[in-house]
Structure 1
Amino acid sequence: MSEPWLSADDIANHLGVTKDTVYAWISDKAMPAHKVGRLWKFQASEVDAWVRGGGAAVAGEAGPPD
């Protein structure tokens, strides 16, 4: 069974951020998103991998402790 596509609201809730933050990450931090018509759609597994890889990290922010 394939993974469902999520809306910007859904992915914002999934990550615990605002929808504005999601749109900023798409344009500024290359968040994985797919444009379908006028709407952005997301796969939670792609976004989770992007977050784990440091894609949402703030510049100068320390990583996890060793």
Structure 2
Amino acid sequence: MVKPQEIAQHLGVSKDTIRNWIKKGAIPYRRIGKQYKSKISEVDAWVDSGKSAEIE
């Protein structure tokens, strides 16, 4: 599990973009205490599925 800033770096977007996607429930994540974390494999699968292109 990695933090949003690591996912942002992996995808080449800003931390703010990742935060917005989390607020919209668009990107796969888990809340652990007060932190949001994601598995890179789940995020890659989400991108490969084309769902990332559907974000408004």
TM-score range, shorter chain: 0.7 to 0.9
2:23 maps to 1:27: yes
Write 1 or 2 for the structure with the bigger share of helix.
2
After TM superposition, what 4+ stretches of structure 1 lie above 4 angstroms from structure 2? none
Number of aligned residues: 55
Question: Bigger relative contact order, structure 1 or 2, given CA contacts below 8 A and separation 6+?
Answer: 2
| Alignment root-mean-square deviation, CA | 1.5
Q: Deviations over 1:21-60 (max 9, x none)?
A: 011112225210000111101100000000111121156x
Q: What is the identity percentage for the equivalent residue pairs of Structure 1 and Structure 2? A: 44
Aligned-partner Cα distance in 2 for 1:35–1:10: 15
For structure 2, the 5+ residue unaligned runs are: none
Q: Which residue of 2 aligns with 1:64?
A: none
**TM-score if structure 1 supplies the norm length?**
0.73
Q: TM-score, normalised by structure 2?
A: 0.85
Q: Which has the larger radius of gyration?
A: 1
Q: Which amino acid aligns with 1:9?
A: Q
- List gaps (5 residues or longer) in structure 1: 60-66
